[in-house]
Amino acid sequence: MKQNSSGAEVDERLAALLSNANAIRAIAAAVEGTIGPKGLDTMLVDRFGEVTITNDGVTILEQMDVNHPAARLLINTARAQQDEIGDGTTTATILASALISEGVNHVVRGVPVARVIEGLRYGVRRALDLIAQHARPVNGLDDPVLERIAYIAGRENADIAELVVKAARLIGEEKLKDPNFKLADTVLAQEGAENEVFMGLVLERERLSSQMPQEKENVRVLVLDDALEPEEIEEEALGTETGFTKYLELQEEFRTNLGKLTELGIGLVVVSRGVHSIAEEILTDAGVFVVDDVAEDDLWLVAEHTGARIVKRSALKKAPSDLEGYLGFAGRVYEDERLGQVRLLGGKGKPMATILVGAATEEVVGERQRIARDAASSLQAAVRGGIVPGGGALEIAVARELARAREEKRGMSAYGVDCVVEALKRPLGQIVANAGFNPLEKIEEVWAAQNEAGQDDLGIHCDTGQVVSMLAEGIADPALVKIHALKAAGEVAEAILRIDTIIKRKDPVSPPGPVQEAPESTALDF
């Protein structure tokens, strides 16, 4: 009885850990089949029957119906990986799942959680240093490896890889290394469009009136974060003679301000809100190109590209000479009526490129855009931080070195280092499993081959199953993707392993009335 009681206590202490580990494993299972050249797609279906078919890890994770808190923690970590580096979410998820599974196995065998975490933290830190040591620099934007990086991250879509490389070369290495610039943000996919890269911006808007010029060249640009309309007056005031007189004065002042715009020769006005009918009439007669209801992010891009300063409508009261300082310049602006968009080219401000990806049907627009953004993110990461052998080869090389470093850890914390070693084997194992090979066999083959040859780029060819040089085959990954994926995986694994108890928190304010029944569990409730 005593032994049974003790066993029950142990099981109770592990209940939270096992529940969390199961949730993490379920999340990883949803994306691990997508990794590698033989990875397959996932279909997501909502309750209305809307379907998303994708191979993109973060898209799958974000659109899954998940209730378990540990699972949501992993999804948030993957989202952070996407925001930080733009790629590697599937790898981060697989590594996190492996770290947690291995950690739980050791805890169940009797290793204290604190010792596992200590060793895991040490192992991740050493592995990150080793990855950085294995990184090779990229030799400029003409380095052929960048085309391969974009091709692999772009899921072997050669047309998308070509677009991304062309855009990178137009923008330049200095801009790509700017931490505030994301090449992926320049990607736009549209049904019926032709693949294209150009220096300039695309606004998903049409010109205000079809009677306005469809195209203008060498235009001065005004960017207005406001509505282009007269100042408002309260309805109650309009019922008085004074109020009505004020209304007429504001209308006249508005017409005067519009006259300043034509006097300054402004050819393009971009506004964040609506445009009054008076402004539409006057600016149309003056041949001004107007775009209204422009999103805030796009408004800032227009200002940056044209060199304009964003103003409120109150600035229109200034003298024309003062308004001069707020204006920008564009070499050309025109509306593509077929695609329903406005293009802005040749701004005097910051150079910007747009990667326009064509899609045959509306259903594939989103996936084509996700693929192109992954390719753009990976290429930029390679320029910033260099490249490492791909196909899971680098992780095996780091695991080999970390296994030797394990001897530096004494006591039970060494089991935490073992967790990292085993987790680093998982990407290669999953890649070859998706290709139809035995993962245990192929991991051992690569481990032995790397030991014998002293090379860190030996991996498995997913068509033949033979051990080959990944770099010779043109299979490489950005070092920063690997570094951030392992770092994110280590952080979430440590957070999950630290959880000893799960307690349902009461609502901040309980509504009056009968107690609501708990919702039915889903597959990921556990």
Could you tell me how far CA 18 lies from the centroid of its own chain? 31
Tally of domains in the chain: 2
Q: Are residues 104 and 208 in the same domain?
A: no
Which residue bears the tokens 């599937």? Answer: 90
Domain presence at residue 465: yes
Considering the domain architecture, whether residues 475 and 391 belong to the same structural domain is answered as yes
* Residue 45 shares a structural domain with residue 101: yes
**Are residue 392 and residue 457 in the same domain, yes or no?**
yes
Tens digits of residue pLDDT in 354-376: 898 988 877 788 889 989 999 99
- Categorize the per-residue pLDDT at 466 as very low, low, confident or very high, splitting at 50, 70 and 90: very high
Q: Which two tokens stand for residue 73?
A: 């923690």
Asked if residue 338 and residue 248 are part of one domain, the reply reads yes
Range of the domain at 475: 2-136+387-498
Q: What is the pLDDT of residue 11?
A: 60
The domain spanning residue 251 has which CATH number?
Answer: 3.50.7.10
Q: Is residue 512 part of a domain?
A: no
Same domain, 205 and 343: yes
Same domain as 46, residue 114: yes
Q: Is 16 contained in some domain?
A: yes
- 385, 481 Cβ separation under 8 angstroms: no
443 has pLDDT over 70: yes
The residues, ordered by sequence, that sit 6+ positions from 146 with a Cβ below 8 Å of its Cβ are 138, 165, 168, 379, 382, 383
> Phi and psi of 432, rounded to 5°?
-75, -30
H, E, C per residue of 482-495: HHHHHHHHHHHHHH
Shared domain for 222 and 353, answered yes or no, is: yes
Give me the residues paired with residue 187 across strands: 355
Q: Are 437 and 139 in contact (CB under 8 A)?
A: no
> 């200590």: which residue's tokens?
118
Average the pLDDT over 273-282 and give the result.
92
Residue at 10 is within a domain = yes
Please check whether residue 231 lies inside any domain of the structure: yes
The pLDDT-based confidence of 233 (bands split at 50, 70, 90) is: low
Domain of 122: which CATH number? Answer: 1.10.560.10
On whether both 470 and 339 belong to a single domain, the answer is no
What are 303-354's pLDDT values in tens digits? Answer: 999 999 999 988 998 999 899 999 999 999 999 988 889 999 999 988 888 8
Neighbours of 88 (CB within 10 A): 31
Give the contacts of 171 (CB within 8 A, at least 6 positions apart): 183, 351, 352, 353
pLDDT range class, residue 236, cuts 50, 70, 90: low
Q: Are residues 124 and 35 in the same domain?
A: yes
Q: Which residues pair with 355 in a beta bridge?
A: 187, 197
Which one of 307, 339, 359 terminates a domain? 359
pLDDT of residue 426: 95
In a domain, 367, yes or no: no
Q: Are strands 353-359 and 196-203 parallel, antiparallel or unpaired?
A: antiparallel
Tell how strand 266-271 and strand 458-460 pair up.
unpaired
Residue 20 covered by a domain: yes
**Are 239 and 314 in a shared domain?**
yes
Q: pTM of the entire structure? A: 0.77
Residue type, 203: L
Answer yes or no: are the C-beta atoms of 228 and 274 closer than 8 Å. Answer: yes
Inside any domain, residue 48: yes
Question: Does one domain contain both 307 and 392?
Answer: no
